[in-house]
């Protein structure tokens, strides 16, 4: 496995691979890798001939006061994880490699970035689209893998790829969970034991929403209310949002839902940690 921090070297490796007829897959990450990230790399390994993982804690997607400085940086373990998952090349740029001092250009997402996470973290998604566009420019992938865990993010990246006519196929991979249902996240390691116990309520609320959508005649708004009740019952979670939204436009509240699809989206604060989770929901 090649580990490379210089964009031009990465591009050379990728172009070599492509000259040899290889299909190139890219898995962008911020490191602190866990099974969720591994699942993306393993999928890329199955579907591509040359797998590039990127590890970069992107400063522009953190708001002032967020956890940029304390975000876990575990490069050695991450590289082992990449090797075990079958990556061929890991791109580990320094900030100056991705953001020149005199850089002026950013990629601004549209409406999809103005709701939910976009309201609570204004500017976050512009940081994401800008860095992902740059990572695509460096790694020139045929296909890139993202997690459903960041549901709004993968929609925004799909929209960016369409709008900018980027020649990259986007694949969204299922959420990998702990045995009790908690979605794996690099931020889970911030949780105290008591917070970790309470964190299970997110997946529980989503499972209940899914059940109610198939087994009850409750409206999407009533189901959202039930999700909020479950989240609040632990007394530890501060609910930022818990909604059922349109899985393509993220619009909510939903109108008619019978026979339709929705995505349940949750964000909470738990002590000093922010957690998000989601699930696709089908109404019977």
Question: How far apart, in whole angstroms, are the C-alpha atoms of residue 245 and residue 67?
Answer: 28
Output the CA–CA distances (angstroms, integers) from residue 50 to 17, 33, 219, 231, in the order listed: 7, 20, 46, 42
Site mask for ligand AMP (CB under 6 A), range 23-42, x = bound = ------xx-----xx-xx--
Does position 173 bind ligand AMP by CB under 6 A? yes
Which one, 38 or 212, has the nearer CB to ligand AMP? 38
- Closest approach of ligand AMP to the CB of residue 28, in Å: 6
Rg from Cα positions in the chain: 19
* Residue placing its CB nearer to ligand AMP in the complex, 39 or 273: 39
| Chosen residue from 117, 150, 195, 201 binding ligand AMP by CB under 6 A | 150
> How many angstroms separate the CA atoms of 130 and 109, rounded?
9
State how far Cα 122 lies from the chain centre: 16
Our finding on whether 176 is near ligand AMP (CB under 6 A) is yes
Does residue number 146 form part of the binding site for ligand AMP (CB under 6 A)? yes
Answer yes or no: are the C-beta atoms of 167 and 47 closer than 8 Å: no
Residue 45 touching ligand AMP (CB under 6 A): no
- Should residue 199 be labelled a site residue for ligand AMP when binding is judged by CB under 6 A? no
SS3 219: coil
Choose between 23 and 177: whose C-beta lies nearer to ligand AMP.
177
Query: Could you tell me the two tokens for 220?
Result: 């999407």
Q: Is 37 a catalytic residue?
A: yes
Residues 6+ apart with CB under 8 A from 27: 37, 40, 41, 44, 51, 52, 53, 54, 87, 144, 145
Regarding 160 and contact with ligand AMP (CB under 6 A), the answer is: no
Rule CB under 6 A: is residue 136 a binding residue for ligand AMP?
no
**Per-residue tokens: 65:** 């006061």
- For CA atoms 153, 65, 29, 278, the dihedral sign is negative
Nearer to ligand AMP, 212 or 281 (CB): 281
User: Does the protein bind ligand AMP through residue 265 (CB under 6 A)?
Assistant: no
Q: Which of 13, 34, 37, 124 is catalytic?
A: 37
Q: Can you list the positions of beta strands (E) in 136-236?
A: 143-147, 169-173
Nearer to ligand AMP, 172 or 232 (CB): 172
The interface region with ligand AMP, picked from 114-122, 170-178, 223-231, 269-277 by CB under 6 A, is 170-178
**Residue 277 to residues 136, 152, 185, 202, 206: CA-CA distances in angstroms?**
26, 11, 10, 7, 8
Which is closer to ligand AMP, CB of 13 or CB of 37? 37
Binding-site residue total for ligand AMP (CB under 6 A)? Answer: 17
Task: Decide: is 149 part of the binding site for ligand AMP (CB under 6 A).
Answer: yes
Catalytic residues: 37
Which positions touch ligand AMP (CB under 6 A)? Answer: 29-30, 36-37, 39-40, 146-147, 149-150, 173, 175-176, 183-186
């Amino acid at each position: 496995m090649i580990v490379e921090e210089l964009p031009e070297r990465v591009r050379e490796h990728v172009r070599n691979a492509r000259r040899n007829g290889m299909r190139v897959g890219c898995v962008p990450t911020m490191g602190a890798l866990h099974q969720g990230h591994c699942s993306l790399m393993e999928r890329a390994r199955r579907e591509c001939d040359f797998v590039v993982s990127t590890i970069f804690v992107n400063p522009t997607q953190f708001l002032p006061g967020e956890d940029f400085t304390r975000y876990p940086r575990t490069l050695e373990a991450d590289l082992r994880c990449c090797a075990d998952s079958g990556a061929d090349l890991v791109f580990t740029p320094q900030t100056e490699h991705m953001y020149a001092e005199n850089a002026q250009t950013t990629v601004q997402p549209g409406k999809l970035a103005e709701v939910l996470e976009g309201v609570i973290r204004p500017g976050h998604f512009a940081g994401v689209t800008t860095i992902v566009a740059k990572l695509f420019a460096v790694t020139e992938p045929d296909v890139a893998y993202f997690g459903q865990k960041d549901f709004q993010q993968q929609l925004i990246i799909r929209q960016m790829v369409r709008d900018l006519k980027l020649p990259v196929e986007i694949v969204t991979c299922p959420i990998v969970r702990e045995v009790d249902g908690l979605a794996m996240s690099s931020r889970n390691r911030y949780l105290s034991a008591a917070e970790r116990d309470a964190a299970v309520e997110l997946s529980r609320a989503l499972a209940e929403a899914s059940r109610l959508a198939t087994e009850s005649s409750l409206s999407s708004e009533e189901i959202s209310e039930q999700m909020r009740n479950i989240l609040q019952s632990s007394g530890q979670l501060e609910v930022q949002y818990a909604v059922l939204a349109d899985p393509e436009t993220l619009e909510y509240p939903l109108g008619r839902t019978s026979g339709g699809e929705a995505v349940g989206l949750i964000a909470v604060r738990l002590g000093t940690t922010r957690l998000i989770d989601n699930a696709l929901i089908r109404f019977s």
